[in-house]
Amino acid sequence: MYIAALDTPALVADMDVLERNINGMATLCDQLGIPLRVHTKTHKVPEIAKLQIAAGSQGITCQKLGEAEVMVDAGIDNILIPYNIVGTPKLKRLTALIQRAKIIAALDSEETAKGISQQAHADKCTVPVVVELDTGSGRCGVQSPQKAQNLARQIVKMPGIDFQGVMTYPSNIGAKSFIEETLDLLSSDGIPVNIISGGGTGAEAASKELGCTETRSGSYVYEGMTRIGNSEMLAPERCVLRVIVTVVSTPTPERIIIDGGMKTFTSYPPSPYGHIIEHPDAKIYGMSVEHGHVDVSKCSHRFKVGEQLSVIPLHQGMTSNLHNELIGIRGNTVETIWQIAGRGRVK
Amino acid sequence: MYIAALDTPALVADMDVLERNINGMATLCDQLGIPLRVHTKTHKVPEIAKLQIAAGSQGITCQKLGEAEVMVDAGIDNILIPYNIVGTPKLKRLTALIQRAKIIAALDSEETAKGISQQAHADKCTVPVVVELDTGSGRCGVQSPQKAQNLARQIVKMPGIDFQGVMTYPSNIGAKSFIEETLDLLSSDGIPVNIISGGGTGAEAASKELGCTETRSGSYVYEGMTRIGNSEMLAPERCVLRVIVTVVSTPTPERIIIDGGMKTFTSYPPSPYGHIIEHPDAKIYGMSVEHGHVDVSKCSHRFKVGEQLSVIPLHQGMTSNLHNELIGIRGNTVETIWQIAGRGRVK
């Protein structure tokens, strides 16, 4: 099938660019000598995770337990969940999942550790965990090396839970003293550290320098404004995703309306929302829920109702999360259709 | 099941408030003497649409063809689609759907009309249509009464398509001259007008005054900041939706982290993202994809990992669109679980 025959709005991935991005990161981590554990939050597609593993990733990272379940269902067997798993329903799901795959969970409190310990002990299994360090994210994570040490000391006394090391986000050189001091304290306690997990696309060299045992990179797989930083630099040769849309109205000479709005692109980030490949001078200046409002006053092209356009969305992960399927294209042809199986798995 | 036993984040609807909002709008339209055609974009749940019809709505409005298909599948048989239906895949779906239910489509161009006409003629059916007037939305819609007349003149000459009238968005008193002039021009041509569709929650009285034959109200069903306009006014007795979240981290005395972020709430609108019913002084000040960052520095309550909170989301329709199911609650008990069947149907 040709792209031109697609019903729209359709989320498509350029397979050539996807393969180039996956191989490029694999080569970079290989050259740096830092093992890669890809983060699948951006795509949520098991088939893409498998391409990344085939290219050398030693496992994957899933932000939520529900995404990890989808990946295990698809046959992936080595997953880090860098998220506090809290509450009986999730703890039961965690101990069920751990029978089927190697799962490592991150945590930052004694309450989370106790919950995991008690459920795992009851279910006769052991959950490997890493302690999250807040090295600048201002989100989760223990706030000091001493607190990391205190938490590790608690964990090693608990049944059903196995202290494996630490994780940090973000990985930058400012994290060096926090990590080193934590390792020294753990070493002085005789608590072994097997994992030092660093993270974030672009932090691969820093992860190596910090002494990490792995680096978690995610958004590199698609590339977009969240990585490239400037919508002017978005280009089809480096960005994988496009939303194919149709012009549904040409109400004035300056304005056209496309059939994708906030429910197709997300409302984040703001204008220009996306980059129209065929007509870079056409600017998406606003979106309502199901309409995209495009200023074409700077275009010499005369747009017609029914015309298809290819838009590189600005936020790759948020846009992917709105769609049920991803259509893999090569050139002008549809090559494959993948379910975005991890979409909406917020639990 | 009690709410406290729910896995989180969970999207729930307070059934008492839902019924009150549905009945309140039905009573208002009854008193005004304006027929109601509810817009289902906010909830996308067939069971809620049926409650609205049972309360007196003469049919429903679906913003996209895919949402209309879901509603017809559920047995709803009278739907306005206020959207230009363009392109062969959608036109074939439209003519298939029209065999199963009364569907009215809106359009604003000769190209859209021709597409519908040709497909309907080929498929031996007739599609009733209304012409969209741009009475201030700055989105789709013909730009003048003369253009509405010209388009109606074209439509009445085409096979397979039946001109039924006009629709306007928004409905306010500024639209009066546009509508009246259009009706005069159509009358002078002898083109009958059966439908004058007005729209928008809060525009019910204006629709009546404009002479509309129906008014489309949608967001009233849940209520939220997009309607109430000020997050300080959000209150559990008028707002239907809550997201039940769990505190997963308490990294500092000033900050707690909840297990819902942009993929649970949407990124629109910005801070405070939602209203925490139990602790109004706790302010959601930021969101990453799967985390909500809450400032609790003004709270005397000491939050604990594992504690559940109930958050009224600010944008009801966008939040609903991220979830697969809606849990209907009454008091502290789960009463029903509905699939959000129209979610993600952007085509």
Please tell me the distance from the alpha carbon of residue B105 to that of residue B85, in angstroms, as a whole number: 8
Contact B248 A139 (CB under 8 A): no
pLDDT at residue A213 tops 70: yes
Predicted pLDDT at B228: 64
pLDDT at residue A228 tops 70: no
- Choose between B229 and A234: higher pLDDT: A234
What pLDDT digit, counting tens, does each position of A62-94 carry? 999 999 999 999 999 999 999 999 999 999 999
Q: How many Cβ atoms sit within 10 Å of the Cβ of residue A182?
A: 27
pLDDT at residue B271 tops 80: no
A86 and A172 fall within a common domain: yes
Tell me the average pLDDT of chain B: 95
**Rounded mean pLDDT, B57-61:** 98
Chain B residues whose beta carbon lies within 8 Å of the beta carbon of residue A304: 111
Helix (H) or strand (E) holding B330: strand B325-330
pLDDT at residue A131 tops 90: yes
In a domain, B324, yes or no: yes
Tell me the average pLDDT of chain A: 95
Q: Which residue of A has its CA nearest to B323?
A: A344
In a domain, A42, yes or no: yes
- Which of B248, B288, B347 best tests the A interface by mutation, with the highest count of A CBs <10 A? B248
Give percent above pLDDT 70 in chain B.
97
Predicted pLDDT at B233: 72
pLDDT at residue A223 tops 90: no
Query: Given CB atoms, is B115 within the 8 Å cutoff of chain A?
Result: yes
**Rounded mean pLDDT, A260-280:** 86
Q: ∠ CA(A342), CA(A116), CA(A171), 5° rounding?
A: 60
pLDDT at residue B76 tops 90: yes
Predicted pLDDT at A235: 83
Contact B141 A251 (CB under 8 A): yes
Please tell me the distance from the alpha carbon of residue B88 to that of residue B118, in angstroms, as a whole number: 10
B155 and B40 fall within a common domain: yes
Predicted pLDDT at B212: 97
Query: Given CB atoms, is A318 within the 8 Å cutoff of chain B?
Result: yes
Q: Is B295 helix (H, G, I), strand (E, B) or coil?
A: strand
Of the pLDDT bands very low, low, confident and very high (cuts 50, 70, 90), residue A186 is: very high
pLDDT at residue B317 tops 70: yes
pLDDT at residue A57 tops 70: yes
Please tell me the distance from the alpha carbon of residue B79 to that of residue B58, in angstroms, as a whole number: 9
Q: Taking the CA atoms of A49, A50, A52 and A58 in sequence, report the sign of the dihedral they define.
A: positive
Confirm if B34 and B215 have CB atoms less than 8 A apart: yes
In a domain, A29, yes or no: no
Predicted pLDDT at B236: 87
Query: Given CB atoms, is A119 within the 8 Å cutoff of chain B?
Result: no
DSSP collapsed to 3 states, chain A: CEHHHCCCCEEEEEHHHHHHHHHHHHHHHHHHCCCECEECCCCCCHHHHHHHHHCCCCCEECCCHHHHHHHHHCCCCEEEECCCCCCHHHHHHHHHHCCCCEEEEEECCHHHHHHHHHHHHHCCCCEEEEEEEECCCCCCCECCHHHHHHHHHHHHHCCCEEEEEEEEECCCHHHHHHHHHHHHHHHHCCCCCCEEEEECCCCHHHHHHCCCCEEECCHHHCCCHHHHCCHHHCCCCCCCEEEEEEEEEEEECCEEEECCCHHHHCCCCCCCCEEECCCCCCEEEEECCCCEEEECCCCCCCCCCCCEEEEEECCHHHHHCCCCEEEEEECCEEEEEEECCCCCCCC
Query: Given CB atoms, is B266 within the 8 Å cutoff of chain A?
Result: yes
**Rounded mean pLDDT, A154-163:** 98
A112 and A164 fall within a common domain: yes
Of the pLDDT bands very low, low, confident and very high (cuts 50, 70, 90), residue A170 is: confident
Identify which of A86, A141, A260 has the shortest CB distance to residue B346. Answer: A260
Q: Please state the φ and ψ torsions of residue A107, each to the nearest 5 degrees.
A: -155, 165
What pLDDT digit, counting tens, does each position of B87-112 carry? 999 999 999 999 999 999 999 999 99
In a domain, A345, yes or no: no
pLDDT at residue B230 tops 90: no
Q: Cβ contacts of residue A54 below 8 Å, gap of 6+?
A: none
Q: Cα distance from B31 to chain A (closest Cα, Å)?
A: 31
In a domain, A303, yes or no: yes
Which residue type occupies B309? L
Confirm if A68 and A81 have CB atoms less than 8 A apart: yes
Contact B8 A87 (CB under 8 A): yes
Predicted pLDDT at A230: 64
Please tell me the distance from the alpha carbon of residue A329 to that of residue B217, in angstroms, as a whole number: 40
A139 and A263 fall within a common domain: no
Query: Given CB atoms, is B6 within the 8 Å cutoff of chain A?
Result: yes
pLDDT at residue B276 tops 90: yes
Tell me which residues of chain B, numbers 186 to 245, contact chain A at a CB-CB cutoff of 8 Å.
Answer: none
B203 and B244 fall within a common domain: no
pLDDT at residue B17 tops 80: yes
Identify which of A63, A90, A108 has the shortest CB distance to residue B249. Answer: A108
Of the pLDDT bands very low, low, confident and very high (cuts 50, 70, 90), residue B332 is: very high
Of the pLDDT bands very low, low, confident and very high (cuts 50, 70, 90), residue A231 is: low
Q: Cα distance from A50 to chain B (closest Cα, Å)?
A: 23
Of the pLDDT bands very low, low, confident and very high (cuts 50, 70, 90), residue A267 is: confident
DSSP collapsed to 3 states, B119-143: HHHHCCCCEEEEEEEECCCCCCCEC
In a domain, B18, yes or no: no
**Rounded mean pLDDT, A186-202:** 96
Q: Is B160 helix (H, G, I), strand (E, B) or coil?
A: coil
pLDDT at residue B299 tops 70: yes
In chain A, the N- to C-terminal Cα span, in Å, equals 36
Of the pLDDT bands very low, low, confident and very high (cuts 50, 70, 90), residue B237 is: confident
B280 and B136 fall within a common domain: no
DSSP collapsed to 3 states, B181-245: HHHHHHHHCCCCCCEEEEECCCCHHHHHHCCCCEEECCHHHCCCHHHHCCHHHCCCCCCCEEEEE
User: Domain total for chain A?
Assistant: 2
pLDDT at residue A234 tops 70: yes
Chain A residues whose beta carbon lies within 8 Å of the beta carbon of residue B87: 7-8, 246, 306
B234 and B264 fall within a common domain: yes
Predicted pLDDT at B170: 87
A161 and A51 fall within a common domain: yes
Residue that is last in its domain, among B158, B191, B221: B221
Among the listed residues B90, B77, B76, B50, the one whose alpha carbon sits nearest the alpha carbon of residue B345: B90
Residue that is last in its domain, among B221, B256, B284: B221
Confirm if B39 and B217 have CB atoms less than 8 A apart: yes
Give the CA-trace dihedral at B80, B84, B87, B89, to 10 degrees. Answer: -20
What CATH number does residue A299 fall under? Answer: 2.40.37.20
**Whole-complex ipTM:** 0.96
B185 and B42 fall within a common domain: yes
What CATH number does residue B165 fall under? Answer: 3.20.20.10
Of the pLDDT bands very low, low, confident and very high (cuts 50, 70, 90), residue B223 is: confident
Confirm if B291 and A64 have CB atoms less than 8 A apart: no
Distance of CA B75 to the CA centre of its chain: 19
What residue numbers bound the domain in which A306 lies? 3-11+225-339
Instruction: Write out the two tokens for A8.
Output: 């729209």
A112 and A216 fall within a common domain: yes
In a domain, A199, yes or no: yes
pLDDT at residue A226 tops 80: no
What pLDDT digit, counting tens, does each position of B122-175 carry? 999 999 999 999 999 999 999 999 999 999 999 999 999 999 999 998 889 889
Contact A290 B112 (CB under 8 A): no
What pLDDT digit, counting tens, does each position of A25-45 carry? 999 999 999 999 999 999 999
pLDDT at residue B66 tops 70: yes
Confirm if B328 and B335 have CB atoms less than 8 A apart: yes
Which residue type occupies A99? Q
Omega before B89 within 30 of 0, i.e. cis:
no
**Rounded mean pLDDT, A259-273:** 83
What pLDDT digit, counting tens, does each position of A312-347 carry? 998 889 999 999 999 999 999 999 999 999 999 999
Helix pair angle (B46-54, B15-32), 10° resolution: 40
B244 and B97 fall within a common domain: no
Find the DSSP H helices in chain B: 15-32, 46-54, 65-73, 88-97, 110-122, 145-157, 176-188, 204-209, 225-228, 262-265, 316-320
Residue that is last in its domain, among B221, B239, B272: B221
Tell me which residues of chain A, numbers 44 to 103, contact chain B at a CB-CB cutoff of 8 Å.
Answer: 63-64, 83-84, 86-90
A209 and A250 fall within a common domain: no
pLDDT at residue A236 tops 90: no
Predicted pLDDT at B67: 98
Q: Cβ contacts of residue B211 below 8 Å, gap of 6+?
A: B179, B180, B183, B196
In a domain, A22, yes or no: no
Query: Given CB atoms, is A289 within the 8 Å cutoff of chain B?
Result: yes
